Structure formats: C-alpha cells, structure tokens
Amino acid sequence: MTRSAIPFRKGHGTGNDFVLLPDPDGRLSVTPAAVAALCDRRRGLGADGVLVVTPTAAHPEVAEQAQRAAWFMDYRNADGSVAEMCGNGARVFVAHLLDEGLVEPGSFHIGTRGGARAVHVERRGGSVQVDMGPAALLADPVTVHPADGPAAGVARDALGVLMPNPHAVTWVADLTEAGHLLESPAVAPAHAYPNGANVEFVEVLGPDHLRMRVFERGVGETLSCGTGACAAAVATIRRSGGGPDGQRMRVDVPGGTVEVTWRADGHVELSGPAVLVARGTIDPDWWELHA
C-alpha cells in the first residue's frame, strides 16, 4: 500500500528541470518505470530527471556519507537509470532543502552517488555553489560522431572527462554543427564508456567564455547540464595547455549561464541559479499503476 498522496516539487537549474520526491522516512519505493512515467512530458509531470530527497543514513548505498551529509540526492535520469551526479539537480536539491527548512544558508554537504559534495549558498533564492569533486581525464583518445547535421558521421576529436559522470567533449566553430541532437552521437572507443556518455559540443567565445549544447545519456538534448558544463570547461582549459589553477569560466547553455572554476586542488566548482516552480501531490492510483 502507498500513501494516500505522494508529494512532489518541481524545479529547474538553467532550464534543466526535475521532479523532486520528498522521502523523509526513506520508505518510498521509486522504480525506473515510475521515474520514466513522471518525466513523460505529455503523460506525466515532465522533467529531465527525478530527485528523491531522502536521509543519507536510510540509504545503504551511501550510508557511509551520513556523518557529513544528512540528505542524499538520489538522482535518476528521465529513462529511469541512475547517475553518479547532477550539477543542476544538486542546486535544485539544495534550494528545496532550504525552502523546507531542512538546512540553513551557509556551507554544508549533500550525499550523492559520486560522494558527499560540499555546497555553499548565502541565502534562499540565491546562487548555489557546488563542489563537484575532482575531474578525471581519460587517457584514451576519443572521437564523437554526430548523428545528423553538416558533420553527420564524421569523426571529431574529443576529450573524455569523468565528473564523475562520463563525458565526451568536442569543439565546433558553430553549435549548429552538432545537428538536431535528436539521436545520441556515437562515441568511440566504446570500452572507454561502458555505460554510455554525455556528449558536449563546445564553441569557444573567449579565453574564459564558452557556449555549449549537450546530449545527455538517458535523456536526450537538455537546456543545460551541470556536469557537462564542468567537463566542457576542464576539457577546454586542458586543450589550451592549461590545468587546475583557479581559472573561472562562463558557460552559456540554451537555458542560461553557469560559472565553472577548476581549482588548484583539482576539484571543480559549479555556480548558478536554482528555481523552485511548483508543489503538489501525485494521484495515488496513477502512482500504483506506474510503480
């Protein structure tokens, strides 16, 4: 039996939108089918992903993070698959915690499958800064093959970056070269990405300014991708011969703008807005049908 009503929140970070499911007791069973149904933009609430808000100590997968992070961001892609981290989702998750009085403004940690992540926010409604952890660059040469558009099927040199989500970053003179992004670009070698990859097409506008489009695994093209923005900034700095030295980059995405800093300690910081849009309840009969 489920509860008489399943509460939810809806929010977005630079257009990357999420359904949040509060689960304060750690008892809500959220299946891949339920996630896919919720994210359906015609038959569900519509979103790029689902964030289950649950006590870290109640989730065996991340219980060891509970001493530092009271709340776990259990993130699922729109197709129901799990992901290690979500930068835009983390900011929306923090905005929800603040709005519900579960944390106070300042610095604290949240639990994620990529590890406990430090966050900082000065006030409710303000920009949220997330320590996304260290960036790891893949040793293998990587190529990206757009599925359509002017460069369809052509191998483009790319850099592989783990944030910790897997990314393949390639550069274009104009973002139209990415094509329509209705299908996932092919990425090689396949063994470098056993669980698939997010693919970023990056246009360099200046030494500290990028523009980007992204195809997210399990979702499709999104208006923004936080880990993708981090991967794009890190790969671009590395491509130009730089490294982690505190350089701050502006990254424009179709849904807005975020800022990325590759710190001297190798960690990557992501800063940007988070907007809570709505709250409500999910019909229990609908939930039981799709659970």
Domain ranges of the chain: 6-127+274-290, 136-271
Contact between 94 and 120 (Cβ < 8 Å)? no
Query: Phi/psi of residue 87, each to 5°?
Result: -65, -45
Q: Does domain 136-271 have CATH number 3.10.310.10?
A: yes
- Average pLDDT in the 207-229 region? 96
Residue 229 has pLDDT above 80, yes or no: yes
By DSSP bridging, strand 16-22 and strand 6-13 are antiparallel
Report the phi/psi class of residue 96: left, alpha or beta, with left for phi > 0 and alpha for psi in -120 to 50: alpha
- Average pLDDT in the 105-109 region? 97
The pLDDT > 90 percentage for the chain reads 92
Predicted local confidence at residue 152, as pLDDT: 86
Residue 64 has pLDDT above 80, yes or no: yes
Residue 1 has pLDDT above 80, yes or no: no
- Average pLDDT in the 181-201 region? 94
Predicted local confidence at residue 2, as pLDDT: 44
Contact between 272 and 5 (Cβ < 8 Å)? no
Predicted local confidence at residue 149, as pLDDT: 83
Q: If pLDDT is split at 50, 70 and 90, which confidence band does 154 have?
A: confident
By DSSP bridging, strand 198-206 and strand 166-171 are parallel
Q: If pLDDT is split at 50, 70 and 90, which confidence band does 266 have?
A: very high
Contact between 139 and 213 (Cβ < 8 Å)? no
How many Å apart are CA 198 and CA 116, to the nearest integer? Answer: 22
Predicted local confidence at residue 151, as pLDDT: 79
How many Å apart are CA 263 and CA 37, to the nearest integer? Answer: 39
Contact between 184 and 147 (Cβ < 8 Å)? yes
pLDDT in tens, 274-287: 999 999 999 999 99
Which residues touch 286 (CB under 8 Å, ≥6 apart)? none
The single-letter code of the amino acid at 121 is V
Same fold, 6-127+274-290 and 136-271: yes
- Residue that has been written with the tokens 């910081």 in this structure: 269
pLDDT in tens, 5-34: 899 999 999 999 999 999 999 999 999 999
Predicted local confidence at residue 291, as pLDDT: 83
pLDDT in tens, 237-263: 999 999 999 999 999 999 999 999 999
Q: What is the end-to-end Cα distance of the chain in Å, rounded?
A: 11
Q: If pLDDT is split at 50, 70 and 90, which confidence band does 3 have?
A: low
Mean pLDDT, all residues of the chain:
95
* SS3 category, 286: helix
Which residues touch 101 (CB under 8 Å, ≥6 apart)? none
CATH superfamily of 6-127+274-290: Diaminopimelate Epimerase; Chain A, domain 1 (3.10.310.10)
Residues forming the active site:
86, 225
Q: Using the Cα atoms of residue 269, residue 207, residue 203 and residue 146 in order, give the sign of their dihedral.
A: negative
- Average pLDDT in the 221-227 region? 96
